[in-house]
Amino acid sequence: GESVGLHLPTLSVQEGDNSIINCAYSNSASDYFIWYKQESGKGPQFIIDIRSNMDKRQGQRVTVLLNKTVKHLSLQIAATQPGDSAVYFCAERWSFDMRFGAGTRLTVKP
Amino acid sequence: DTAVSQTPKYLVTQMGNDKSIKCEQNLGHDTMYWYKQDSKKFLKIMFSYNNKELIINETVPNRFSPKSPDKAHLNLHINSLELGDSAVYFCASSQDSGTAGNQPQHFGDGTRLSIL
């Protein structure tokens, strides 16, 4: 899902399926992008990052894609597990400033 | 071994009171932040300190005053609390100097502030 309006977008997937969470960022001067996962009652937890000189970066079961032309970021989670259920935020940085997207709630059905 | 710790975890108080939230990081980072997360989960930066100097001060009422006694601590003092201050406040830190460039921020688990 993509962050629009004031409601938290939700994405519901079946366990074992792949998940794609999308994010539109705002500042063309942003040079560093981060995905965070936030579980209930916890602070945001770093998942993966990407710098503006790259368009793809892979981690363990996660891949981030960056399209600077349309200011779009996506997070792909392979073989989604129940423990992946959380709110996911993208964030963009320039200098010391960091701005978060509105977040997407991912629910994994067993 | 907690990297970014905030106290208290919960804070319930009356309108008009003054309160403080403390934050400490043991990661050796040079930059610390305060964020506010509203009921819709929107995270907004409030302040950023680099090496104890204020770098970012968003349009936050001046009832909010951050204080950084050293690089490992960034406390938030709030005067004359209002109902709209009810939210979760997160402290974060990152290492931003050096040749590695920007690094991800590490967050505490938040302080849930409720104003009665």
Question: Residue B4 and residue A31: Cβ atoms within 8 Å?
Answer: no
Mean pLDDT for all residues in chain B: 91
Where residue B57 falls among pLDDT bands split at 50, 70, 90?
A: confident
Q: How confident is the model at residue A2, as a pLDDT?
A: 35
Would you list the DSSP string of A71-103?
A: TEEEEEESS--GGG-EEEEEEEEETTEEEE---
* pLDDT tens digits for range A60-85: 999 999 999 999 999 999 999 999 99
Q: How confident is the model at residue B15, as a pLDDT?
A: 97
Asked if residue B109 lies in contact with residue B9, where contact means CB atoms within 8 angstroms, the answer is yes
Q: How confident is the model at residue B1, as a pLDDT?
A: 62
Candidate from B43, B96, B110 with C-beta closest to A96: B96
Peptide bond just before A44 cis, omega within 30 deg: no
Percent of chain B with pLDDT over 90: 74
* pLDDT tens digits for range A28-48: 999 999 999 999 999 999 999
Where residue B97 falls among pLDDT bands split at 50, 70, 90?
A: low
Q: How far is B79 from chain A (nearest CA, A)?
A: 25
DSSP class of residue A69 equals T
Question: Residue B50 and residue A51: Cβ atoms within 8 Å?
Answer: no
Q: Which residues of A touch B (CB under 8 A)?
A: 6-8, 31-32, 34, 36, 38, 41-46, 49, 51, 87, 89, 93, 96-100, 102-103
Q: Which residue of A has its CA nearest to B95?
A: A96
Checking if the pLDDT of A5 tops 60, the result is: no
Least confident of A69-78, B46-55, B96-105: B96-105
Hey, which residues does B66 pair with through a beta bridge?
B76
Q: Which residue of A has its CA nearest to B96?
A: A96
Question: Residue B56 and residue A97: Cβ atoms within 8 Å?
Answer: yes
Q: Which residues of B touch A32 (CB under 8 A)?
A: 101-102
* pLDDT tens digits for range B7-39: 999 999 999 999 999 999 999 999 999 999 999
